[in-house]
Amino acid sequence: MRILVIEDDARGRLFLARGLTESGHIVDTAEDGATGLVLAREGIYDLLVTDRLLPALDGVELVRQLRAGGDVTPVLMLSAVSGLKDRVEGIQAGCDDYLVKPYAFAELLARVEALVRRSNRGRTGHVWSCADLSLDTRARSASRAGRNLNLQHREFLLLECLMRHAGQVVTRSMLLEAAWNYDFEPRGNIIDMHMHRLRAKVDRDFPTPLIRTVVGAGYVLGG
């Protein structure tokens, strides 16, 4: 899951980013509301975690502007302000949940997971298929011809990107965006190294390879 954390306090931002990353998520961060709004509008996030009091644009107004533009990404608002009026204002602006500081990270993580489950409820399309290859984004599992592929975290994210664009060329930039955060600086051929391991799991021991390289462009699944 890809999460955007918008928090102006450097220590709090690092704490959140580290905890969510260690919990298996891809995390991007912003330190002010204006930057957070620009990133949020890219439409690539499964969840936003935002502080209420932010420079440039406060969290409540950030959420209002997102909702006014039709964005329905779940939002968890964090705030040191605990009054009923303030909580109601946050919810009315479009926040899905409101957590008062200080908080236990375990509670924040539980709320994050609950928000994502709620947003996924009733949706279809969480299972992607291509030929005899199947990927379940809810169960975080992948199989081919009924055989579990036992993918590592990055491998799963790369395969999910390929599955969502089956039959189309997926560039290295698209794969980098899908499996790493914006602060990551790729070194050497890290994408190709991960893709090599993924292809070994997806295509090894099967008569028909599904992932192929498009020289100078990227990779294609199926097609």
Structure confidence by residue, pLDDT tens digits, 14-56:
999 999 988 888 899 999 999 999 999 988 888 999 999 999 9
pLDDT at 114: 86
- The answer to whether the CB of 108 falls within 8 A of the CB of 116 is no
User: What is the 8-class DSSP label of residue 2?
Assistant: E
Q: Where in the chain is CATH 3.40.50.2300?
A: 2-120
**What's the average model confidence in pLDDT over 140-158?**
91
Structural tokens at position 169: 């060329």
Share of the chain above pLDDT 90, in %: 52
Q: What CATH architecture does domain 2-120 belong to?
A: 3-Layer(aba) Sandwich (3.40)
Q: Answer for the pair 149, 143: CB distance below 8 angstroms, yes or no.
A: yes
Q: What pLDDT is attached to residue 122?
A: 44
Question: Residue 70 above 60 pLDDT?
Answer: yes
Q: How many angstroms separate the CA atoms of 1 and 114, rounded?
A: 13
Q: What is the pLDDT of residue 142?
A: 94
* CATH 1.10.10.10 domain span(s) along the chain: 127-221
